[in-house]
Amino acid sequence: MGGGPRVSAATSLPRLAFQPILRQTTGLRTIRPRAPRPAPGPCANRAGSRPLFEFQVQATDGPARAGVLNLPHGQVRTPVFMPVGTQATVKTLTAEEVEGLGAQIILGNTYHLYLRPGHDVVQQMGGLHGFGGWKKPILTDSGGFQVFSLSDISTIGEDGVEFQSHIDGSRHLFTPERVMEIERALGADIIMAFDQCPPGQSSRELATEAYERTLRWLARCRTAFERGRADDPEPRQTLFPIVQGGIHADLRVASARGTLASGDWDGIAIGGLSVGEPKPQMHDMLDAVRPELPDRLPRYLMGVGYPDDLLEAIGRGIDMFDCVAPTRNGRNGAVWITAEGQVNIKQRRFLTDAGPLDPECGCYTCRTYTRAYLRHLFVAGEGLSMRLLSIHNLHFLVNLANQAREHILAGDYAGWSRAWLDRFAAGKAAAVKG
């Protein structure tokens, strides 16, 4: 086989200049242009007969859990990886493509959408679901991580955070109340409380200040959230709190206890990890906080999504993940291959490689194109390479979470995950040595 597209008999070449790329069991299907949707009213319960926002644990294997979370725009089977749609889009992909690769829920970014196009614009267009054409559940973060990452152009006070726009330099103030107003307008199924996210490996003093302020802000978020939804004819959003505490186990425990004592929540998030600390420290924090978390709540580990991190955290009782790495890495030529770990498609060894990117992957990219062609596209600076590599990386993580669920249900997650991690690490080491 040559170095160009790998086209099966069941797959016809696209006749349009641009055609959404979907993973289907029967090959590709063409998405016909559709008329714009009218802005929807209050959403119906698409989660079936079970109560909205209920989380049901279906099976466990040690700390690992398989469950189902019922949300207004549908059910989410866990463990689950959530692609990040920072600006109401998963970068370079359409909503149909993201759905086609198996995503059940995506994430939107409050900070970026507030600055551009503005939460009021998104609300007028039917919320994020109507604006971006994504029909399934959505989660929005609070923007806390973004404003605190802009520490050189932001000022933290008890009322909130004043920050400077990275777009035009204008000044803005995020308070717990303001963030609840913005997230309500965006209309996601799950919205996150406004928290103070300290830098990685923060001192005990700074980590204490951050988790205590996060608890005080949580009370204000809850009051504003309850006030905002008082007039809703039916529930359409739920609020998740965030556990902080840095790399200090006792502070993590204190944060979790304080969070749970402050209200009856439908889920809980763990923030402030994977921000520069060594991975064993992240694992230690998850081990420390797990006994404090009720089984009935879905657990969301924020900003974590490399393959090995995903499986390690699932084995420690985490249910939900998000990360920009799949698309960011794809745009920079980095891809995950089951037997090789993370590699860069620019490597010269791929110059005349007629094989699929990952022989064990069933995504559109791996079913259709050779390594040689993908390398050529990337080296030539073709935008298509970013799309194809992003499709693969996203499918890799979405499918990995699905595989984890299957093995939890089968009762052999511990052994399967250890074998998978050992093989992935060995492949990575061999690729580096080679």
* Annotation says 264 is catalytic: no
What letter would DSSP give residue 199?
Answer: P
Helices (H), 229-306: 249-261, 279-289
Query: Which residues, in sequence order, are CB contacts of 244 under 8 Å at separation 6+?
Result: 195, 196, 197, 198, 207, 210, 211, 214, 251, 252, 255, 271, 272
Annotated active-site residue in 61, 308, 319, 322: 322
**Catalytic option among 141, 266, 308, 309:** 141
- Taking residue 418's Cβ as centre, other Cβ atoms within 10 Å add up to 12
Can you say whether residue 49 is alpha, beta or left, with left for phi > 0 and alpha for psi between -120 and 50 degrees? alpha
Which pair of tokens denotes residue 222?
């809850």
Beta-bridged to residue 321, according to DSSP, are 81, 301
Q: Using CB atoms within 10 A of its CB, is residue 59 exposed (0-12), middle (13-18) or buried (19+)?
A: middle
Quote the distance between the C-alpha of residue 167 and its chain's center.
24
* Residue 165 backbone phi and psi in degrees, to 5: -60, 135
322 in catalytic set: yes
Q: Do residues 76 and 69 touch, judged by C-beta distance below 8 A?
A: yes
Alpha-carbon distance of 339 to 97, in angstroms, equals 26
Catalytic positions:
141, 322
